[in-house]
Structure 1
Amino acid sequence: MLVIGIAGGTGSGKTTVVNKILQQLNTEGVNVLSQDNYYHDNPNLTLQEREVLNYDHPKSIDFDLLIKHVKALKNGETIEQPLYSFVTHSRTGDHVSIDPRNVLIVEGILVLTNSELLKEYDLKVFVHADSDERLIRRIRRDTQERGRDLQEVLHRYQTTLKPMHQEFIEPSKNEADLIVPNMKQNTVAIDFLSTVINNTLKHTH
């Protein structure tokens, strides 16, 4: 199994890069695990308490479970992936069964920050985007998809997102084998990743 970690700051376009790769592939051979489904549940906290937690710190991620699931898939086992809601800031209680496939993509802002998880990757990718562009994308996503107030988004960016990006996410770029500048006209990196994955899929048939 080929395991690829794809990281980058919030709003950098990680999901877009993953989707562009999948568009060029036979997706039946590829699984995608999103870090977003591996946030700690914190059922002992109220909604108000969960809303003010720092979700951009590595400690917010249940890396033990994520690593366990990556290893299980590599061992040919089916996993039960939890589903997470950004509205309630908690796991929904539902799970998705994921069977092992020939290629596994693990994506999220913090997936290159954990030393144990780094050992599981065959290829590490960091998607880079201008900080202003990332902020604009974050505002659009949080106001349109997650029902957040503009002032709330800007406050969180200044007090949490930007400091955490500088402390944890940007330094994790040093772990990457490939840095992808997320520009609309940039197809070289996407084509390269698609070729690597395609070659893996061909050799496993």
Structure 2
Amino acid sequence: MNNKPFIIGIAGGSGSGKTFFLNCFLHHFKNDEITLVSQDDYYIPAGEMTAEENKLYNFDLPTTIDHEQFSVDIKKLLKGEVVYKKEYNFNNPLAVVKILEINPAPIIIVEGLFILHFKEIMSLLDHKIFIEAEEHVALDRRIKRDGMERGYPEDDVLFKWHNHVMPSYKEFLLPYKEDCHQVIVNNNNTPDHIISITEKIAEDLKVKFCKERG
């Protein structure tokens, strides 16, 4: 690999369990071995909105993402540079905005809904992982998450799911499923399944690194 970082792209629709997968995967490495760049931190600020405006605003479109800066920052990490980025606060005016320090590492994880749709970003990926779940499972997870973490009424969650989330998933992510190196079905809510999968991928990567780096 000539010390070039190995970039893994992890894509999955809402409710696929991508966040849990990522947390499990990162757990298998030391901090200086791996770094994460999340599409969520590249939303173009939409400004303050009322509850009704927030319900109607479609966050599930590629145009809501500053994909050019996303790409620039990935390339900086490839060159060994540190990236500083404001953490996105999901339009919550009460949230304390953090400045993220994203350090270069031998393994770079790039995750998000549109990472395969953005051609320049997809071209940088060495290994692509697609995480999916059956729609009813994913919707149930979304309802629970948005209710507990963001206080959204279930009716609002269902509106966004049927009008924004699923149409976007089918148009901007699902077509790339067959181009991925691995497809992981995550319908099971018990953690053992995902932990074992991430452990196997991590072990394979570490063996690969040892061989290629002598």
What runs of 5+ residues in structure 1 fail to find an aligned partner? none
Partner of 2:29: 25
Tell whether the 8 Å contact from 1:86 to 1:146 is kept in structure 2 after alignment: no
Query: In structure 2, what residue type is equivalent to 1:95?
Result: I
**Residue type of the alignment partner of 1:172:** Y
Alignment pair present for 1:122 and 2:145: no
Match of 2:57 in 1: 53
Q: TM-score, normalised by structure 1?
A: 0.88
2:66 to 62, 65, 75: 62
The aligned residue for residue 198 of structure 2 is: 190
Q: Distance in 1 between matches of 2:92 and 2:82?
A: 27
Deviation larger for 161-170 or 192-201 = 192-201
Query: What is the CA-CA distance between 1:155 and the residue it aligns to?
Result: 0.9
**1-side partners of 2:98 and 2:194: how far apart?**
37
Equivalent residue for 1:42, pick from 16, 24, 46: 46
Task: Please tell me whether the aligned partners of residues 10 and 134 of structure 1 are also in contact (alpha carbons under 8 angstroms).
Answer: yes
Separation of aligned partners in 2, 1:18 and 1:204? 25
Instruction: Identify the structure with the greater strand proportion.
Output: 1
8 Å Cα contact 1:32/1:106 also seen in 2: yes
Inter-CA distance 27–75: structure 2 relative to 1 (3 Å threshold): same
Change in Cα spacing, 1:92 to 1:175, as seen in structure 2 (3 Å) is farther
The answer on whether the counterparts of 2:60 and 2:164 sit within 8 Å (CA) in structure 1 is yes
Asked if the contact 2:43/2:65 (under 8 Å) is kept, the reply is yes
**Matches of 2:65 and 2:96, distance apart in 1:** 16
Aligned to 1:199: 207
Conservation of the 8 A alpha-carbon contact between 2:46 and 2:91: no
Q: 1:25 to 1:50 in 2, by over 3 A?
A: same
Task: Give 3-state SS (helix, strand or coil) of 1:27's partner.
Answer: coil
Q: 1:41 to 1:200 in 2, by over 3 A?
A: farther
Distance 2:209 2:31 in 1: 10
1:176 equivalenced with 2:180 (yes/no): yes
State the Cα distance separating 1:93 from its structure 2 match.
5.3
Describe the superposition over 1:42-84 as per-residue Cα deviations: whole angstroms up to 9, x where unpaired: 34xx413455321111111111111000000000111112211
TM-score between the two structures when normalised by the length of structure 2 = 0.85
Task: From 100, 125, 137, give the equivalent of 1:96.
Answer: 100
Distance in 1 between residues matched to 2:21 and 2:194, nearest whole Å: 10
> Percent same amino acid at aligned positions?
29
Corresponding residue of 2:10: 6
Alpha-carbon distance in 2 for matches of 1:97, 1:23? 19
